[in-house]
Amino acid sequence: MDRPPHLGLRHVALNVRDVARMMRFYVEVMGFDVEWAPDPDNVYLTSGRDNLALHRVTGPAPAGPGALDHLGVIAATPALVDAWAAFVESQGVALDARPRTHRDGARSCYFADPEGNRVQVIYHPPISGAI
């Protein structure tokens, strides 16, 4: 059987404790728009090319194998990675990893959202210019 084609990763869903706080971070700091907020426990955000769902979770946080390592936001140029790093710091968000260029020509930085999920802003040559 041949592998069916796909259009890449365009949707991420996060289990979160504080939906309102996380929504403010992704809207005010990361620039997403609210696409749909059907109730206080769920909100769907978009940059216009993707969908980030935030779902309230109660009880213990998921851990172990399969737990999220990070989510990536694509930047169109390497310079924009540096601009994002400066911007998030100006918003009081500490960087986990300062911008650096990788062996494959990608450039990225890392920081955490209010609930500790790692966010990577990345310029990735094969896809940054194609989006």
**What was the pLDDT predicted at 65?**
62
Contact 123, 108 (CB under 8 A): yes
Q: What is the mean pLDDT of residues 98-113?
A: 94
Give residue 76's region: left, alpha or beta (phi > 0; psi -120 to 50): alpha
- In CATH, which superfamily holds the domain spanning 11-58+68-128? 2,3-Dihydroxybiphenyl 1,2-Dioxygenase, domain 1 (3.10.180.10)
Higher per-residue confidence, 128 vs 96 = 96
Question: What is the tens place of the pLDDT at every residue in 59-88?
Answer: 776 666 666 879 999 998 999 999 999 999
Q: From CA 62, how far away is CA 115, in angstroms rounded?
A: 13
pLDDT at 93 over 70: yes
Q: From CA 62, how far away is CA 107, in angstroms rounded?
A: 30
**What was the pLDDT predicted at 21?**
96
Q: pTM, whole model, 2 decimals?
A: 0.82
Domain boundaries, the chain: 11-58+68-128
